Amino acid sequence: MAKKRDTRAHLASHLMYGVCIAAAAVIVGTLVLITGYLLAIGLHSLHWSFFTNLPRSDPPGMRNSIEGTLILVLLASVVGIPVGTAAGVYLSEYEVDSMLAVPVRFVCDVLAGVPSIVVGILGYELLVVPAGTYSGWAGAMALAFIMVPIVARTTEEMLRLVPRSYREASIALGATKARTIVNVVMPSATGSLVTGAMLAVARVAGETAPLLFTAVGSDFVVHDPAKPFPSLTLRIYELSNEASPAARAQAWSGILVLVALILLVNLAVRYFTRRRVAR
């Protein structure tokens, strides 16, 4: 009797062992399927004119959208990275468990989970409605809003990894707290701070929803952020609603460029963090 139960338990165990392997295989397989499609269709329709032409020219391209995304992300970084880094330094170096630090850390995590469309609507209410026009500024600020909590939390975590003895040595040599942070703690974590910032950049570069009601998109080359602004993701979304196969091919090319960009950032981050750990 006991033996029979045992064999049944072993059978179930073997079965679940297989199920776990299958689950991992299915996930990896799905990834391969999705990226395989992106590569197969995207590469097929990718042409040099994609990078040099405008949406209205023949053959159409996405030069203005690529530029737009780069400018939007740059503007967002200029605001989002300093604010996020400052908050991260505060959480790691100044207050760890104070009355203010605990809620700030908590709010950071909560903000990181706010749906990005809601952030876009905030940008619309605060920046688009008063200005009376959709603008690149509104889009960039919405992206910055998403960056801040991500940068803050990674900065905090990375600074925490800096050994305590570094800070003690610096203070013992007579440096002020500010000097210690700026000259000792942050430089020794530069690599990982850049990593965190790059991940945040990669994240917002692929965002569409916060730009829908802020930057809205444009078919032209725009360099003035006070006007409606083009973006790669917005253009892809726009194209996905068009029926023609040419538009579809353009959309796939856009996605391919976007995903390649994000994959490159992720690989670079991985490469740099590995070197840091090995050292």
Partner 1 sequence: MTATVSPSSAGPMLRRGRSGEDVLLRVAVTGGALAILGMLATLVLVLFVAALPSMRRFGPAFLFSSEWRPNALPVLKLDGHGHTIRDPRTAMKVVDHYRAPAFGAGASLFGTVATSTWALLLAVPLSLGAALFLVRIAPVWLVPFVSFLIEFLAAIPSIAYGLWGMFVLGPWMGGPARWVRVLGMQLPAGIESRIGALAIHVPGLRWICTTSVGGKTVLVPPTGRDIFVAGIILGIMIVPIITAISRDVLRSVPREQMEGTIALGATWWQSCREMIFYCRSALFGAILLGLARAAGETMAVLMVMGNTAAVPTSPFMAGTTLSATLAGEFPEAATSDLQRGALMEVALILLVMSLVFNIVARYLVIGKWQPSAATAH
Per CB under 8 A, which of residues 22..51 are in contact with partner 1?
Answer: 22-24, 26-28, 30-31, 34, 36-38, 40
- Residue tagged 């990226």 (tokens): 35
Task: Pick the binder of partner 1 from 45, 49, 54, 101 (CB under 8 A).
Answer: 101
Shortest distance (Å) from residue 80 CB to partner 1: 10
Q: Answer whether the bond into residue 59 is a cis peptide, omega within 30°.
A: yes
Backbone angles phi, psi at 172, to 5 degrees: -65, -30
Nearer to partner 1, 58 or 244 (CB): 244
- Say which DSSP state 46 is in: -
Whole-angstrom Cα distance, residue 22 to residue 17?
Answer: 9
Site for partner 1 in 119-138 (CB under 8 A): 119, 121-122, 124-126
x/- letters, 180..219, toward partner 1 (CB under 8 A): -xx-------------x--x--xx-xxxxx--xx------
Does 149 interact with partner 1 (rule: CB under 8 A)? Answer: yes
Shortest distance (Å) from residue 144 CB to partner 1: 10
Whole-angstrom Cα distance, residue 214 to residue 227?
Answer: 10
Does 78 interact with partner 1 (rule: CB under 8 A)? Answer: no
Backbone angles phi, psi at 61, to 5 degrees: -140, -170
Task: Pick the binder of partner 1 from 46, 140, 142, 152 (CB under 8 A).
Answer: 152
By the 8 A CB rule, do 156 and 92 touch?
yes
